[in-house]
Amino acid sequence: MPNLFHLALLAIFALIASTLAAITGFGGAAILLPVLVLTFGTREAIPILTVAQLIGNGSRVWLNRRHLKWAVVGWFALGSIPCALIGGLLFARAPVAGLTRGLGVFLILMVVYRHLTSIPHWRPTAPAFAAIGAGASFLSALVGSVGPLMAPFFLDYGLIKAAYIGTEALTTVIMHSAKLLAYSKASVLPAHAVFMGAGLGPLMVAGSFLGKRVVDRLPERVFVYLIEAMLIIAGIMFVVRG
């Protein structure tokens, strides 16, 4: 059981993580997960994180509900749900260090690719998000969160600001819901993990409101540059953390 110091630290980091995620669409897990791991260990930290993120993303869906791109959400769900279930069932036995480093390299290369004008760029269509959802959800069930992995595809589709934040959040809600079902079936979702994640929920919602106020004031070009900077930072963290 965490002491008062750890609980206070979790509260602070949960608010910061949710605010950052509400601005960039991702990055919250990178801030909150290390604290959860130090407090509860990896196997319990990821289910707790999933519950907290489910609440945080749900609040971002509501705040940006008028800008959702339902075609992207529908196709994403088609690939996401079965692969999140499979990944969640494998979670208890999966070695993930090498996979995490590979994701880090991929993120850095994606940012470089976006700025290479000599190479034709692939712009995903709505149906392509079935495959994107399948891959992202499977990996998310194993490593906790892959928001940075999905971000380049949403940007290349043409989503920015409220449409990007809200649509990405709704696809993440679908993905996390399937993961929690799989964790429960695999007996890696203890009751106290649900209660702890739910306890962080009000802070995740508060962070969503703070981040929404920032996003509404950001110029579109600055918003895209901010996302790309966060992708590079996340990529480096994934490579180092492994």
Write down the H helix ranges in the chain. 4-24, 28-40, 42-63, 70-90, 97-114, 129-143, 147-157, 161-185, 191-199, 201-215, 220-241
The rounded percent of the chain whose pLDDT value lies above 90 is: 20
Predicted TM-score (pTM) of this structure: 0.76
- What is the extent of the structural domain holding 122? 4-241
Please check whether residue 57 is in contact with residue 65, taking contact to mean a CB–CB distance below 8 angstroms.
no
**What percent of the chain has pLDDT above 70?**
81
Name the residue type at position 91.
F
pLDDT tens digit string along 206-218? Answer: 988 888 888 888 7
User: Which parts of the chain register pLDDT below 50?
Assistant: none
Angle at 148 between CA 237 and CA 184, to 5 degrees: 95
Q: How many domains does the chain have?
A: 1
Q: What is the pLDDT of residue 46?
A: 76
Check residue 136 and give its pLDDT: 87
Residue-wise pLDDT for 26-54, tens only, equals 767 767 777 787 777 767 777 888 888 88
| pLDDT score for 157 | 92
Positive or negative, the CA dihedral 140, 71, 181, 199 is: positive
| C-alpha torsion sign, points 207, 212, 218, 221 | positive
Q: Which DSSP string do the residues of 137-192 spell out, in sequence order?
A: HHHHHHHS--HHHHHHHHHHHT--HHHHHHHHHHHHHHHHHHHHHHHHHTT---HH
